[in-house]
Amino acid sequence: MVLEKDSVQLLAAALAIGIGSIGPAIAIGMLGGKAMEAMGRNPEASGKIQSAMILAIAFAEAIAIYALVVALIIKFV
């Protein structure tokens, strides 16, 4: 069975975005859960916790965007 170049490119792009988004998804879930736990333990510090959580989520989401860029490069180049 011989795979065509287009088929291999589509498979590689799908794997790049699929595998590349697993880590950030887990990280964002853990960040949100731990932030809610911290806010529950110390409600007075919820503003500082929330701003730190949002910043960390943005950094984790950037990794998923890099995976998307790699997948698009694989698909169209």
Mean pLDDT computed over 15-27 = 94
Whether 24 contacts 64, CB under 8 Å: yes
What is the reported pLDDT for 23?
93
What is the reported pLDDT for 18?
94
Mean pLDDT computed over 22-29 = 95
Euclidean distance between CA atoms 31 and 44, whole angstroms = 19
Which three-class secondary structure string do you get for 18-67? HHHCHHHHHHHHHHHHHHHHHHHHCHHHHHHHHHHHHHHHHHHHHHHHHH
Is pLDDT at 2 greater than 70 in this prediction? no
Element (H, E) at 12: helix 5-20
Mean pLDDT computed over 38-62 = 95
Domains of the chain: 5-76 (1.20.20.10)
